[in-house]
Amino acid sequence: MAVQMELSRILIRETDDMHIVELREVDGERVFPIVIGLTEAAAIERRLMGQLPPRPLTHELLASVIEGLGADLEKILICDLKKSTFYARLYLRRGDEVVDIDSRPSDAIALGVAHEIPIFVEEQVLEEACRDL
């Protein structure tokens, strides 16, 4: 079963390559961090601050492609954790068809933040991530 999460905070470290997105359970108290790259961290931070780049960056481009194909990004699911690496899926809907696409969680979150897309985490992933804290 998947648990709905929300972006709690983002930590960008100027002196380190380890940037963190923290997700918090919507109807609970569990939180866990995901280490992400600077590009994704900066994209998420810009969106949270309402700053739009003058030209589309990768995440804006992908959002435009999804929209141009007549689809909607329905949800993001962080579905697995293997050897300290999280895995995610994007769920796109076009009419009655739902397509799920492999994604890095950082890319999925950056894309989702721009359009307020719900983020879910599989229960076993959440349990394992919280246990490792």
Averaged over 36-59, what is the pLDDT?
84
- With vertex at residue 84, the alpha carbon angle to CA 32 and CA 90, rounded to the nearest 5 degrees, is 70
Q: What is the pLDDT of residues 5-14, one digit of tens each?
A: 999 999 888 7
User: Is residue 122 very low, low, confident or very high in pLDDT (cuts 50, 70, 90)?
Assistant: very high
Q: What is the pLDDT of residues 64-104, one digit of tens each?
A: 899 999 999 999 999 999 998 999 999 999 999 999 999 99
Is the pLDDT higher at 58 or at 27? 27
Residue 123 domain boundaries: 2-131
Contacts of 29 (CB under 8 A, 6+ apart): none
**Domain total for the chain?**
1
Q: How far, in Å, CA of 56 to CA of 78, rounded?
A: 25
Q: How far, in Å, CA of 68 to CA of 5, rounded?
A: 28
Mean pLDDT score across all residues of the chain: 89
Q: Are 113 and 7 within 8 A, CB to CB?
A: yes
Reported for 128-132, long-range contacts at CB under 8 A and 24+ positions apart, including other chains, are 128/81, 129/32, 129/81, 129/86, 130/30, 130/31, 130/32
CATH code at position 65: 3.10.690.10
Residue 103: what pLDDT? 95
Could you tell me how many helices (H) and strands (E) the chain has, helices first?
Answer: 4, 7
Residue 47: what pLDDT? 82
Q: Is the pTM of this model over 0.75?
A: yes
List the alpha helices (DSSP H) in the chain: 38-48, 58-68, 105-115, 123-131
